[in-house]
Amino acid sequence: MSLIRSPKDFWSGVIYLAAALFGLIVGSDYPMGRAGQMGPGYFPIILSSLLLVFGIATLARAFIVPGEQVTKFALKPALLIVGSVVLFGLLVERAGFIIAMFASILMSASASREFRFEWSAALGLIAFIAAGALLFVKALGVPMPLVGSWFNAG
């Protein structure tokens, strides 16, 4: 009898922990700052720390609560999700926050089988991008251009 009672939770926990450790390692190279004046390492460290807690909890759950077996790995959706994060990173300086968010959200949404164009979803997308621009770029002062160098005249 295996100690792992929920293989799906086990592998989810491993993925969470791997992503958290990667974020902590990369984020540790940047100045942390503080809540009132965040440095470039603040968000990755906080987010990675939370992900680490979720990973530990999910991994512990795998040994306690019976769950499902892993049937197959959905490679295409996983690549679309990871690719959308990479796409954001590649676009944000050149195209700006607005275009990078738009492309990243559409790419990650296309990972779902239920993805299709709807006007209500398009309005939600616009509202989400506007809220992100207001929160991160304007209110928190994260140094990202709203409109990138591709669109600047000169």
**Mean per-residue pLDDT of the chain:** 90
d(CA 86, CA 79): 10
Give residue-wise pLDDT tens across range 56-72. Answer: 999 999 999 988 888 88
pLDDT of residue 151: 78
Give residue-wise pLDDT tens across range 2-45. Answer: 788 999 999 999 999 999 999 999 888 888 888 777 788 888 89
d(CA 52, CA 21): 7
State yes or no: pLDDT of 49 exceeds 70.
yes
Q: How far is CA 124 from CA 113, 117, 128, 144, in A?
A: 19, 12, 6, 22
**Interval 108-117 mean pLDDT:** 90
- Asked whether 55 and 17 are in contact (CB, 8 A), the reply is yes
3-state secondary structure of 139: helix
- Domain range list for the chain: 1-71, 72-154
pLDDT band at 152 (very low <50, low <70, confident <90, very high): confident
The partner residues of 37 in beta bridges, in order of sequence, read 34
pLDDT of residue 140: 80
**Interval 133-152 mean pLDDT:** 86
- H helix and E strand count, the chain: 5, 2
State yes or no: pLDDT of 113 exceeds 70.
yes
Least confident piece of the model among 9-13, 69-73, 105-109, 129-133: 69-73
d(CA 42, CA 68): 36
Cβ-Cβ contacts under 8 Å for 38 (sequence gap 6 or more): 140, 142
pLDDT of residue 118: 86
State yes or no: pLDDT of 153 exceeds 70.
no
